[in-house]
Each structure stands twice: as C-alpha cells, then as structure tokens.
Chains A and B, each alone.
Chain A
Amino acid sequence: MDHERPPGIAVSVRRLVFGEMVLFTDLSCRLPAGAWTCLLGPSGVGKTTLLRLIAGLLPGGTVTADDGRPLEGRVTLMAQQDLLLPWLDVLGNSLLGHRLRGEGGQRYQELEARARRLLARLGLGRRLTALPAQLSGGMRQRVALARTFMEERPVVLMDEPFSALDAISRHRLQEMAAELLDRHTVLLVTHSPREALRLGHRILVMGGQPVTLREIPAPPGPPPRQPGDPALLALEAELLEELAASDAQMEEAWASTVP
C-alpha cells in the first residue's frame, strides 16, 4: 500500500434500466482519493448496483480513476456474506487472491508471513488452521477483512460487510476496518445511518425517482468516531427520519411498476 497513492474515482451512468423500471438517469458520483465514502439509502434504491458498476461486475457505466490509469486490478470487494471457501483454513482464505492468480515461490512465502502477522493483529493468531465452519460470524468476517487487505489494492468496495454481525462484533470490526483501510479509497454501502456517521469522511444519501445522490455533512473529527458522540447522535436521528420518508417513496415507486 505504501508504494501506491490511492486514486480518486469518478462514476457516471447515462441510463440504467432494470426490467420496466428506470433505475439511474444521468447519475454521477465521485469517491475522493484515500477517503471513506459511505452510501446510505432505502433498500432497492440501487446502492449495490452502483457498487457493482464500479467493481466492473455490471456493464452500463463509465468508471475512471483520477490518476488516468485503468482501474482494472486495483479494486477489491468485501460483501455481506464472508464468501470464505469452506475447505480452506483461515490462512488459506486470507491468501485466496494470490492463490487464484497463481503467485508462488518466494513471493508467496513473504505474503504468508504478512498474512500471519495481519491475522494475529485481528485476533486470529491462534486460529490460523481453523476452517470457516469452526469460527463465529464475527471471526469469519475478520478473515474476509484480512483477505480484502491482503489484496493490496488501493480501492475497496464494501457492500454492507458488517450488517449480519451482532452489535459487539460489528463495533470491533468497524474499528479494525477503519484502522486497516485508513489510506484506501473506500466505498461503503450500508443501511445503518450510525455506521455511515461513524466511518465516513463523506456521506451520501441515495434516494428518489430517478435516483439522486445528496451529500450530508459528516460529523466533526476523524473516523472511527465514537458512537456516543452527541453530534453523531443528533445527525443519526435526522437521517433516520429522512430515510424512512424516502423508503416509503421507494415502495410506492415499485408498487406503481406492478400492473
């Protein structure tokens, strides 16, 4: 990570249609370099779609990096499911990307040593040979975080990676991720206003028909912010109201597409 400055990213979509419904028209979005952008919005509004566009998993948009180089090979993904391979142990899963690219020999030895140190830092030092089935949900998602970090890619796209966890695991993992991916360009899709307010340098709310993005001011101070912070709590209440109203609108929009 030290050798590459993370790029900022610009996405623009002229028009994206799903069946009968026009999802995006003239939508554009910027992810500033080396910062966490949190994307909030009601379910079904298209947050994951935008993330998949940037990941190159969906066609239909233009994605560019502000350093002019192609984005291919500089992005990594962390999803709600840990997507660990059940037959690989913790260490093997954290090095999956390198295995799949066929990197071996000397380099692999170094990588393995680094993965061991990283996993120890994430509190998994004694579980290196455990299979995913032997781990708790929180531990599994920590392995997924290690796998994401081991990819050494400057752009990280996260799709609700903490939402399936219990409150305590979530809190710890948010802190670990914020610390570990500090210098990365991150897009975090989330349902939780609190999570966005804790972790975002920049917070975007997606909503409306057609979809628009609205930036709301992030609370003061660098992330990860304390969840008890009064400014954060006040903003959370405000955001919840807004999202609830937007959610009701979404339901109407979907209902109107059904004959």
Chain B
Amino acid sequence: MGFHRPLITGLGLLLLWQFLVWATTAPPYILPGPVAVARVLLARGDLLLVHARTTAIEILAGILIGSLVGAFSAILLTAFAPARRWLMPVLVVSQALPVFALAPLLVLWLGYGMASKIAMAVLIIYFPVTAAFFDGLRRTEPGWLELARVMNAKPAAVLWRIRLPAALPALGSGLRVAASVAPIGAVVGEWVGSSAGLGFLMLHANARMQVDLLFAALFVLALMALALYFAVDRAARRLVPWQQDTLAEN
C-alpha cells in the first residue's frame, strides 16, 4: 500500500485548516491553528497519553466483549429455532432504544470508572455484530446445505463446517462497523460522567477555554480510531483468506 496518497490528503487538510484560521481571523481560543495544536500535542504529551490509555482500554475491552457476545448470540439464533422466536424481538427493541439515552443510567449503575464506558461500547457494538453475522449465517448457499443433507451430515457439523465459515466475511463487516462506532460509545460515556479519558479531557479543556488542548485530544482520539479500524480490517481479511477482494489493485 502506498503512503503518499494519505500523506498528500492530510497535508491538504492541514493547509485548508490554516487557511480557514487566516481567512476568518478567529481568535486562538475559538479556532487554534495547526501549529498551536502541534505545540500543545508536544508540550502536554504526558497528560494526553495518560488519558488516551484509559480510553484505549475502554474501547478495546468494549470491542472484545461486544464482538464475543454478538457472535455468540448470532450462533445461538442460528442453532436454535426457539432462540430465534424469543430473542429476535428483544434484539430489535434493543436497537430501537437510543444507547446515548442510557449513558446516564449506566454511569449511575456502574459508576464513574471504566465499567460504565465499556458497557456503553458493548451496547453500541452488540447489534451491528450480531445482525451482520446472523445475516451471513442465514444466507448459506442452498446447494451446500442440500449436499450436506444427502451426505447425512450431523447438524452440528453443518453449522460448524459450512454455515459458520461461510458467514465469516459477514462477521468481518460487522467487526469493521464495530471498530468505527466503539470509540463513540466510550467517549459519550466519558462525557456523561468520568474522571479520566480523552472525552473527560476534552470536556475539561473546553470548559477552561483551552481549545488547543481539546483539538490535540481530538487528534489523538482520531489517530486511535484509525489504528483500530485498520487493525480490525486486517484481522477480518486474515479471517477469510479464500475471499477474493474484487476491488484490490495488487
């Protein structure tokens, strides 16, 4: 993969940013320029790192737990018809409920620490992972299933050796979505009530008119989210080596 294209795009955005600062003549406490933000990034590196660590742990734990529970639910829904009848409505209702509205409750129940943020991330990830994986599990090529039937296959073997591997590309899509929404869950959780994390830092910086620090925290958060997305994307590709990427440009 070439790095020059993202680099050029990044540089272009920085120039645009600087241009906006110059054109609007906004004071630095409203819109700081890239140079000011870079300076804060260097000067307050330790502080940013400490808070980034908290947020990273929340996001990663959320992804891990949410994906495992989601994948497990999808398999449960596939394997047992009663599970489908009883759990599907619950699943749909859980999605209709805005997770953000639950944030204050979660903080009330689980406290100001990481647990409430992890729970937020898990809740926000659970549905996309379950829905994507379950979709993959129910769309197995009918010809394979007929073949398995004529072969007198055991039902567990059909699930484990045919349905499941065939649904891995769909699970990969769910995980990609999860990777991109998990940081939202963690940060919203931090906004509602916390004593650490990038969301907490941003809120504080904003209240003290340290907009440059807010921008620096935002920058670190974006960097983390990007790294997470690419890591998950890579893992999802590794999961299905037989799957051809028809858009790949060698």
Contact = CB atoms under 8 A, between A and B. Distances in A.
Q: What band does the interface of chain B fall in when counting residues whose beta carbon is under 8 Å from A?
A: 20 to 34
Given A81-B143, A86-B242, A133-B242, A100 B148 contact: yes
Nearest to B168: A87
A245 interface: no
A44 interface: no
Contacts of B166: 85
B165 interface: yes
Contacts of A100: 148, 151-154, 157-158, 161-162
Contacts of B148: 100
A17 interface: no
A79 interface: yes
Interface string B159-177: 0011001100000000000
B97 interface: no
B149 interface: yes
Given A73-B152, A76-B150, A77-B147, A101 B157 contact: yes
Contact of B147 (A73, A83, A101): A83
B242 A99 contact: no
A55 B151 CA distance: 10
B219 interface: no
A101 B150 contact: no
Contacts of B241: 87
Interface string B215-250: 000000000000000000000000011111000000
Q: Main SS of the interface on chain B?
A: helix
B244 A96 contact: no
B244 A57 contact: no
Nearest to A52: B146
A75 B152 CA distance: 10
Nearest to A86: B242
Given A85-B162, A99-B161, A57 B150 contact: yes
Given A83-B143, A83-B147, A100-B148, A131 B157 contact: no
B144 interface: yes
Interface in B4-27: none
Q: What band does the interface of chain A fall in when counting residues whose beta carbon is under 8 Å from B?
A: 20 to 34
Interface string A118-145: 0000000000000111000000000000
Given A87-B165, A133-B244, A57 B153 contact: no
Contacts of A131: 242
Contacts of B242: 86-87, 131-133
Interface string A9-30: 0000000000000000000000
Interface in A60-86: 72-73, 75-77, 79, 81, 83, 85-86
A76 B147 CA distance: 8
Nearest to A82: B143
A97 interface: yes
A101 B157 CA distance: 7
A38 to B, nearest CB: 20
Contacts of B146: 55, 57, 77
A56 interface: yes
Contacts of B240: 87
Given A83-B143, A87-B242, A133-B244, A77 B150 contact: yes
Q: Which of A85, A97, A100, A132 has the most CB of B within 10 A?
A: A100
Contacts of A55: 146, 150
A97 B241 CA distance: 23
Nearest to A132: B242
Given A85-B165, A86-B242, A101 B143 contact: no
A151 interface: yes
A102 B157 contact: yes
Interface in B169-210: none
Given A57-B150, A83-B147, 18 more contacts: A56-B149, A73-B152, A81-B143, A83-B141, A83-B143, A83-B144, A85-B161, A85-B162, A86-B242, A87-B165, A87-B240, A100-B152, A100-B157, A102-B154, A102-B157, A133-B242, A133-B244, A151-B151
5 contacts: A57-B146, A57-B150, A77-B150, A79-B143, A85-B161
Interface of B: 141, 143-144, 146-154, 157-158, 161-162, 165-166, 240-244
